[in-house]
């Protein structure tokens, strides 16, 4: 029971860090275009992250039972996965790199599962989970973000070529409030559900492992003999995500909103709308997408249409390296933690 409570605490900590680590996903553009102040933007993001987190559990089911064989997952393995993901998130946050919390968690879960299975890679669900719902979207979603963001910006440029800059700024300053809210909502539908899946996996593992046997009647709600996300887990994760978002993520906001490309309200609208649409579709299909990857490449695509040389590709290169290393780095950290835990 003590180890289970530790897992829940670590999961809440991960969700909180995810909130302030990924706050920039929804609000970097609306801050950089000066449509909202940072404080206003974070309030908007926190509220709509909350509404998104309450919208479904398809992604939670994928994380909890679609990535690895639940028969080899223990409470200890889940603990190591969460710690590995938290360590990586804090490192990339400190460096101001918008890496993927989703891939950090998935990499950590895979690494710890392999360690607890004594190096047996067959415990990973490659064909039904990792390949179609992680690896393929990891490549295609950033490409879609870049292409669709560029296409939408190109269409808007042609449509608005006769309009005055003042009129364009006025219209899209208001529209960007809608696109930023949608982006925050879609982020909640995807990212908050990942921790829901981890906590539900811990509940399921503890129940099937008889860790909850003999609990007083008031704690029977913890038992989950089937993988169904309890309502209290949904609410807990939603509120934690919102609280984490409210804490802000200033380092990453600066990277996405200021250092990568200079944006105006119309560009912010195009990037946020593109990213929100892609994430929303992925969430409805239970795909644990990297919201960071999608919004980052949407901004790149929009910026490239504005002026290709205006995109600071050196910053983009740093971001891409963070993406490439996230899965293996978190897998390795969690694997080492699991092996050390097995010794002691």
Taking only the tens place, the pLDDT of each residue in 171-209 is 999 999 999 999 999 988 998 888 999 999 999 988 888
Q: How far apart are CA 40 and CA 27, in angstroms?
A: 10
How large is the average pLDDT for residues 219-233?
Answer: 86
Q: In this model, does residue 219 exceed pLDDT 90?
A: no
Taking only the tens place, the pLDDT of each residue in 74-87 is 899 999 999 999 99
95 Cβ contact partners less than 8 Å away, ≥ 6 residues apart: 251, 322
Higher pLDDT, 245 or 302: 302
Structural Rg of the chain based on CA atoms? 20
pLDDT of 132 reads: 92
pLDDT of 304 reads: 86
pLDDT of 334 reads: 95
Q: In this model, does residue 244 exceed pLDDT 90?
A: no
Q: Is 61:197 a contact under the CB 8 Å cutoff?
A: yes
What is the pTM assigned to this prediction?
A: 0.86
Q: In this model, does residue 34 exceed pLDDT 90?
A: no
| Tokens encoding 286 | 């239970």
pLDDT of 250 reads: 59
Nearest Cα neighbor of 67 from 133, 131, 125 is 125
Residue 267: C-alpha distances to residues 157, 180, 303 (Å): 10, 12, 7
| % of residues, the chain, pLDDT over 90 | 39
How large is the average pLDDT for residues 151-177?
Answer: 92
How large is the average pLDDT for residues 237-242?
Answer: 90
| Tokens encoding 261 | 């490309």
Question: pLDDT band at 245, cuts 50/70/90?
Answer: confident
pLDDT of 120 reads: 93
Q: In this model, does residue 310 exceed pLDDT 70?
A: no
Question: pLDDT band at 51, cuts 50/70/90?
Answer: very high
pLDDT of 296 reads: 82
Domain boundaries defined on the chain: 2-343
pLDDT of 198 reads: 92
Question: pLDDT band at 259, cuts 50/70/90?
Answer: low
What DSSP string describes 210-271? TTTTT--GGGGGG--SS----HHHHHHHHHHHHHHHHH--HHHHHIIIIIS----HHHHHHH
> CB burial class (10 A; 0-12, 13-18, 19+) of residue 341?
middle
Q: In this model, does residue 99 exceed pLDDT 70?
A: yes
Q: In this model, does residue 260 exceed pLDDT 60?
A: no
Mean pLDDT of the chain: 86
Higher pLDDT, 30 or 279: 279
Q: In this model, does residue 256 exceed pLDDT 60?
A: no
> CB burial class (10 A; 0-12, 13-18, 19+) of residue 205?
buried
pLDDT of 107 reads: 94
Question: pLDDT band at 19, cuts 50/70/90?
Answer: confident
Taking only the tens place, the pLDDT of each residue in 54-76 is 988 899 999 988 899 988 888 99
């Amino acid at each position: 029971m003590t180890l289970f409570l530790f897992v829940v605490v670590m999961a809440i900590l991960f969700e909180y860090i995810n909130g302030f680590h990924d706050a920039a996903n929804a609000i970097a553009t609306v801050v950089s275009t000066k449509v909202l102040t940072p404080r206003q933007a974070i309030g908007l993001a926190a509220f709509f992250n909350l509404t998104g987190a309450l919208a479904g559990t398809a992604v939670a089911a994928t994380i909890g039972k679609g990535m690895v064989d639940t028969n080899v997952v223990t409470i200890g393995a889940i603990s190591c996965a969460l710690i590995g993901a938290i360590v990586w998130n804090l490192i990339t946050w400190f460096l101001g790199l918008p890496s993927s919390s989703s891939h950090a968690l998935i990499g950590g879960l895979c690494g710890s599962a392999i360690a607890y299975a004594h190096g047996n890679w067959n415990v990973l669900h490659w064909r039904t989970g990792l390949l179609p719902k992680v690896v393929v979207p990891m490549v295609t979603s950033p490409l879609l973000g870049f292409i669709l963001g560029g296409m939408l910006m190109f269409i808007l440029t042609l449509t608005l070529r006769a309009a005055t800059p003042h009129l364009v700024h006025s219209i899209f300053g208001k529209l960007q409030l809608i696109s930023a809210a949608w982006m925050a909502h879609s982020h909640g539908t995807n990212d908050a559900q990942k921790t829901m899946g981890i906590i539900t996996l811990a509940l399921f593992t503890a129940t099937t492992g008889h860790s909850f046997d003999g609990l007083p009647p008031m704690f029977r709600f913890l038992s989950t003999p089937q993988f169904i996300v309890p309502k209290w887990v949904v609410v807990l994760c939603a509120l934690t995500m919102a609280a984490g978002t409210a804490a802000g993520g200033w380092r990453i906001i600066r990277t996405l909103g200021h250092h990568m490309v200079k944006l105006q309200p119309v560009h912010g609208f195009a990037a946020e709308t593109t990213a929100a649409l892609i994430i929303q579709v992925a969430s409805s299909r239970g795909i644990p997408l990297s919201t960071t990857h999608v919004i980052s490449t949407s901004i790149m695509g929009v910026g490239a249409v504005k002026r290709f040389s205006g995109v600071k590709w050196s910053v983009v290169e740093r971001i891409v390296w963070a993406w490439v290393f996230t899965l293996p780095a978190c897998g390795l950290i969690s694997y080492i933690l699991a092996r050390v835990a097995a010794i002691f």
